[in-house]
Each structure stands twice: as C-alpha cells, then as structure tokens.
Amino acid sequence: KVEGSKFNLYVIDNGKGMTIEEIATIGAFVQFNRKSWEQQGSGLGLVIVQHIVKLYSGEFTIDSIPGKGTTVSISLPC
C-alpha cells in the first residue's frame, strides 16, 4: 500500500504470537518453541527481511500478542 512517499507492507497472522522477549532475540537461525510447535525452515526469514529493510533505509516493526497472532510492518521509501 502506497501512503505518501512510503510503500507500506503488513503481514498479519492469527498464529501463536511471540513474547517481547522472543521478538528481542530474533536473529539468524533462531526458531521459537521448537519443542512445542512443529516448524519447518531454517529461521532466516525475519532476519533477511530486517537486513533488506535496513539496506533501503526503511522501517521494520513487529507487534505480537502471545496466543493471538503477529503483525509485521515494513515501510520503504518510494
């Protein structure tokens, strides 16, 4: 969605959500609650997005409520 001079992208899910502590520890190869939840992948997705957004001088935020879901917001200059 283009708003003013920025392109904003929102990814919203209704999954298990993340705690503030989990959000703070996002990094390469980090996966959460591996014992409780079956997960596929390498744990690189969010860290790659963070680096791309930084490269283009954008903004990246994560809002999450455990047990409710997560919203990842990305804002890039047009």
Domains defined along the chain, listed by start: 2-77 (3.30.565.10)
Closest CA to 44 of 54, 29, 31: 29
3-state secondary structure of 61: strand
Q: What is the pTM of this model?
A: 0.70
What is the tens place of the pLDDT at every residue in 38-56?
555 556 678 888 899 999 9
Token pair recorded at residue 34: 């591996």
- Burial of 12-46, coded b for 16+ CB within 10 Å and e otherwise, reads eeeeebbeeebbeebeeeeebeeeeeeeeeeeeeb
Q: What is the pLDDT of residue 36?
A: 53
What is the tens place of the pLDDT at every residue in 4-49?
999 999 999 998 888 888 878 765 445 555 555 555 555 667 888 8
